[in-house]
Amino acid sequence: MPLFSQASVSRVICEAAVRFAWLMDPDISSAKRLGRGAVALHFSAEERSRGVHALPAERFDPRIYRQMLDSCSQEQDSIRKLIDGAGMVLGSSRKGNAKVRLELQSPKVAVPLKINITELMAEMLPDYPSWYNIGSSVSHSVYWGLRDVNHSRPGESLALTPNMLDVGAAVESAISASALMFDRCGRMNGYDPTAYAQCAQKRRAEVDALMRRAVTST
C-alpha cells in the first residue's frame, strides 16, 4: 500500500474537490445549484441501494439484511419527496426507457443524473487532465499503472520502489484541489481567494523543482 498510497489518496481528494466545486459554483443560478444538489443526493441514494442489493443476502441475518434494504428504501423515498417538494421531476431519455436528468420547469433547468468525474477533472483542474485516469489505474489495479513501481533487474530479487514523479504529481494535484475549494468558498462568500491561489502556485513551483531534480539525478 505505501507504494500507491499517494496516487489513491490524491485521486479521492481530486474527486471530492471537483464534486464540491461543481455544487458550489458561484457562476450558476440558485435554481441550477438546487438541481445539482438534488442530483448529488439522488446519485448517493441510488449507489447505496445498489451496493446493498449486491451483497450476498445468505451471509447476513435475514432481519439485519431486511433492515439495510428498508433503510435504503426510506432514504430513496425521502429524497424523492424532497425533489417533488422542490417542483422537480425526473426526465426520461429519448426512448423513454431510462431516467437521465432532473428537470425544473420554472425557471427552466435540467441537470444530468450522471456525474462525470473525468470531465469535471478536465474542466476544473485543467493542469492535470489525465491524473484522474492515472490514479484510476492504481485504484483498479490496472497493469500499466502497477508496473511502474517494479524496478527489478534481470536475475535479481523483486524490487518495488515508488515512482517519484508520480508522487510529485499526486502532491501537486492535491494542492490544486485544495486551491479549487478555497476559490469556491471564497467567491461564494464574497472573499477574494487570490492570496490562497498564489500560495498554492508557490507550493506547486517548489514541488516542480524537486521533480526536475529527480529527473536530472536519474
Q: What are 87-128's pLDDT values in tens digits? A: 999 988 888 888 899 999 889 999 999 888 888 988 999 887
3-state SS, 134-181, equals HHHHHHCCCHHHHHHHECCCCCCCCCECCCHHHHHHHHHHHHHHHHHH
pLDDT of residue 202: 95
- Secondary structure E strands in the chain: 88-92, 99-104, 109-112
117 within 8 A of 132, measured Cβ to Cβ: yes
Beta bridge partners of residue 143, listed in sequence order? none
pLDDT of residue 84: 93
Q: What is the mean pLDDT of the chain?
A: 89
In 3D space, the residue among 109, 93, 94 whose CA is nearest the CA of residue 38 turns out to be: 109
pLDDT of residue 52: 95
pLDDT of residue 159: 84
pLDDT digits (tens, 9 = 90+) for 165-185: 888 888 999 999 999 999 999
Q: Model confidence at 187, in pLDDT bands (50, 70, 90)?
A: very high
Q: Model confidence at 135, in pLDDT bands (50, 70, 90)?
A: confident
Q: Model confidence at 26, in pLDDT bands (50, 70, 90)?
A: very high
Is the pTM value of this prediction over 0.75?
A: yes
